[in-house]
Amino acid sequence: MDEEIKNAAEEVESTVVNDAPAENAEAGKKDLGDKIEDFRDKAADKLDELSDKVEDTFDNLRDKFNEKKEAAQPKIDDAKEKIKDAMDTPDTTEEYDEADIKGNKVMAILAYLGILILIPLFLAKDSKFAKFHVNQGLIVFLMGLVVWLFSKVNHGLITWILDIIVIVFAVIGIINAAGGKAKELPLVGKFRILK
């Protein structure tokens, strides 16, 4: 394919017109023009052929992607359902006194901020709402501690993922506490450390 184009280009380059007699010069120009036109046609045909191949390859790739996507869709839907179920945790807010919730939101938020958990642990021990979030925050703190210890042994992608999970749990807890909700964290919220 490329060899034909190269040969046609060499033919055009090898045509010499300037040293020929006048009557041959016109014939040489016409011959050169024909060769250039022939070269242009061959190049255009090759470009069309190449464009068709690229388009066919793209269509094949798109079809394979769609087949894989359709095959994976049940698994994706199942994973979405599991995530939705994990996020749908019990909300026990109505069991708490409204005044307790309003007066201890800041303490509940502090429960998710690492070592600051000690503040609500000791200063708001009579608050049922704060105690709920201290329990949740203590679980998140212990998870973070385990991840930190694990990171001393293994630096890598798993440690980053675990760090992100701990941060996500803390953020969810802070959002719940700031919203005055006593909603368990996904997966780990059912555990009770404090009574």
pLDDT tens by residue, 56-98: 999 999 999 999 989 889 988 888 888 887 777 888 888 888 8
Q: Quick check: 129 and 182 in contact, CB under 8 A?
A: yes
Q: Average pLDDT of the chain?
A: 84
Question: Which of 37-41, 121-125, 177-181, 184-188 ranks highest by mean pLDDT?
Answer: 177-181
Q: Provide the phi-psi class of 38: left if phi over 0, else alpha when psi is between -120 and 50, else beta.
A: alpha
Model-level pTM?
0.59
Q: How far is the C-alpha of 72 from the C-alpha of 53, rounded, in Å?
A: 28
Work out the angle at residue 155's Cα, subtended by the Cα atoms of residues 150 and 156, and round it to the nearest 5 degrees. Answer: 110
In the prediction, which pLDDT does 7 show? Answer: 67
pLDDT in tens, 115-134: 998 999 898 888 899 999 99
